[in-house]
Structure 1
């Protein structure tokens, strides 16, 4: 901005509208939320090639699905194009990051969200049971950053609950490798007993079932892991392809198909998992009552 480069700010991420705009004004750098990039996968198939000029994609705040990274990188025609993924939170800003190139692509380990910024941010993973945190025994992710908020307006007690000797608890669980890479496995409130990482399962399902535009694993009333899925153009889920895709994954309940627009979303288009679980429970109870 300070160097005078042209800038476009989008008020919505509708793929059809964005495809028209990018075809007229081809962007060289795009920053967006992970779920927005997920919606824009269809632009990789657009014959006008609206993403052909993009050299850098930048995804903010949350882990992104490997399928999305690969599709968007393949849609660009620029040499040495890169996809940057950042992990952070509004309360602390960006904490860790990593990049992907077309050559290495997303390694189907989208749980790796990168390493901290030297001299600027710090990350530690705190054990929950006294044993060292690892993939099979993830711990609480805590961070340090000069960009951390100093309180919640009118909710200072809530703020104090998340601060531990200067470290800010992110509300996520994960582990760090011996090389220092941070792996994000789940939100604390979204963990399902017997499932190591709902996010990892979702990554694999996205890759194995191309027609999926959303898949969310939530706990069912009986404690089972229930996949809620949305498909492109709301076409019926191919159950044969689904049964093939879940081979080798932890036990899952039968998939429940919803329209994407019916899923409860945050301002950054993330799915509100707890609210979705409540809605699904309510729908099940209504069905039982009707029966």
Structure 2
């Protein structure tokens, strides 16, 4: 059998698929649909328009789109890369300060945006436009546009800022296209006519779904907004074969009656990503979708395309699953030595291709990237039967739904208020989101008005970063070294809740 060489870029994959079946729908998003031929032609027209505007090789371009703009985002993403630029995804859910930081930190030459407009506070000299206004040239003007160099940078994707401000992660064209195929006989998700997700643009999970639209045999369906009833209706309406969730949406879906009396027989795979799926939730998913394999996808913005596929086993409900392969996983002790079976340690994943890297952060690179190995920031262990157990985060990160929240970033926003002398943020349990933010605040002269405080924070934090509970206290408990004892903060909230 003749081996078909893999694509060197997602643009090469798009051109290939558009030539074979231009009328096949690659992506649906509400009433909008995007076939491969239109995707290629609009991306080429946009690339010509960007070059006419003066885009230079290696220029970053921000892409600000919302969950109803997936088809336009897909065109913009490929058009920027085809023109030799670097795509910088920006969710329209970002707080203004976070969006401004990403645009400035990545040194964006310009921003393409959807119906929601550009992010506020664009730095001087950064242009903004819609993709439609920038598309030029005849339809299908592919001639004169060379395929990207696989080694050239293609994307800056920003982390969710779990240890402070979001950090940009650089990926090459080869990194993004790794694992994709030009062999039509080997397309992933062949068991599915469609796959469904509701991930936000600008997240690693959302980017994975965009690559799935280009690479898999199935048509992608991006839900414009997640509600259990709408999501369940889409499963039935599109005869979905693969469903992709985060733990929060899985919990909300299972807690509703949305799946009752729905035909779920087409679903063969239910995948969860972005955070560890609680084992009881995985078990309930396997009961709700009896014909489906439940899968936990374990990766990160830094590690991709390194990924561990954990196949959930109802007979081992205390583990998210057994890795399909162990070649790209290792667990080490504090000295970097392999941990013995059953012993906890740091989790590392190995990239099968050129790894990603942080933008302008060599110190962070050495902490996270070691050759092709990537430090995940999680503590875990492998049991004697080969099942992975995720034990905890190494840092005090709050995972709220599909998002990771930095307590440092929340505390910085609180400290910016003129009436606040001190503050500490931490996570408290939530029945749907897993965790939400709580804060203990030390006021300067008396308790600030909570409504005004929240309005102040709205300009500095995204909605998922806002404290759900705020408690005012005269001091914060600290150890001798001056560090806040966050376990004591939990007790303060418990005492507050006690009648």
1:141 matches 2:347: yes
Q: Which one of the candidate residues 283, 286, 290 is aligned to 2:471? A: 283
Q: Distance in 2 between matches of 1:136 and 1:189?
A: 22
RMSD value, Cα: 4.3
Structure 1 counterpart of 2:301: 90
Counterpart secondary structure, 1:158: helix
Cα drift, residue 134 of structure 1: 6.5
Asked if 1 retains the 8 angstrom alpha-carbon contact of 2:311 and 2:321, the reply is no
Q: Give the drift of 1:113.
A: 4.4
Q: Deviations over 1:72-105 (max 9, x none)?
A: 2222353xx21111211121124322223xxx52
Q: In 2, are the aligned partners of 1:87 and 1:113 still within 8 Å (CA)?
A: no
Asked if the contact 2:310–2:322 (Cα under 8 Å) also holds between the matched residues in 1, the reply is: yes
Greater shift in the superposed pair: 29-38 or 146-155? 146-155
Unaligned runs of 5+ in 1: 192-197, 200-217, 219-224, 233-263
Post-superposition offset of 1:57: 0.8
| Deviations 1:214-237 (CA, angstroms, capped at 9, x unpaired) | xxxx9xxxxxx98533479xxxxx
- 2:264·2:289 contact (CA, 8 Å) conserved in 1? yes
- Corresponding position: 1:22 with 2:219: no
How far did 1:38 drift?
2.1
Contact 2:354 2:372 in 1 (8 A): no
Shift in alpha-carbon separation, 1:188–1:44, aligned structure 2, 3 A: same
- 1:36, 1:137 → 2: CA distance? 32
Give, in whole Å, the separation in 1 of the partners of 2:221 and 2:293: 20
Give the distance between the partners of 2:336 and 2:218, measured in 1 at CA. 51
Inter-partner Cα distance in structure 2 for 1:170 and 1:95: 11
| Between 85-94 and 161-170, the greater mean CA deviation after superposition | 161-170
Mapped to 2, the partners of 1:3 and 1:170 lie a distance apart of 27
Matched, 1:163 2:399: no
Query: In structure 2, what is the Cα distance between the partners aligned to 1:131 and 1:148?
Result: 24
| Separation in structure 2 between the aligned mates of residue 283 and residue 62 of structure 1, nearest angstrom | 28
Change (3 A) 1:187 1:116: farther
Tell me how far apart the structure 1 counterparts of residues 332 and 217 of structure 2 sit (CA, whole Å).
Answer: 44
Question: Secondary structure of 1:189's match?
Answer: coil
The residue that corresponds to 1:175 in the other structure is 381
1:98–1:115 Cα contact (<8 Å) kept: yes
TM-score by length of 2: 0.35
Q: Structure 1 segments of 4 or more deviating over 4 A?
A: 1-4, 129-137
Alignment of 1:187-198 (within 5 A): 187-190=393-396
Query: d(CA) in 1 for partners of 2:309 and 2:217?
Result: 26
Q: CA deviation at 1:107?
A: 2.9
Aligned pairs for 1:16-55 within 5 A: 16-42=229-255, 46-49=259-262, 51-55=264-268
Q: Report if the CA contact (8 A) 2:368-2:375 is conserved.
A: yes
1:253-280 CA-to-partner distances (Å, cap 9, x unmatched) read: xxxxxxxxxxx9x99x9x77xx86xx75
Within a 5 Å distance, the mapping from 1:183-262 to structure 2 comes to 183-190=389-396, 228-230=429-431
Change (3 A) 1:231 1:7: closer
Structural mapping, 1:66-81, within 5 Å: 66-76=279-289, 78=291, 81=292
User: 2:229 is paired with a residue of what secondary structure?
Assistant: helix
Give deviations 1:89-130, integer Å, cap 9, x for gaps.
121124322223xxx5263313x4432636xx5222221379
Q: In terms of Rg, which structure is larger?
A: 2
CA distance in 2 between counterparts of 1:177 and 1:13 reads 36
Q: When the two structures are superposed, what TM-score results if normalisation uses the length of structure 1? A: 0.57
1:60 partnered with 2:266: no
Alpha-carbon spacing, 1:134–1:189, altered in 2? closer, same or farther (3 Å): farther
Contact (CA 8 Å) 1:44, 1:51: kept in 2 or not? no
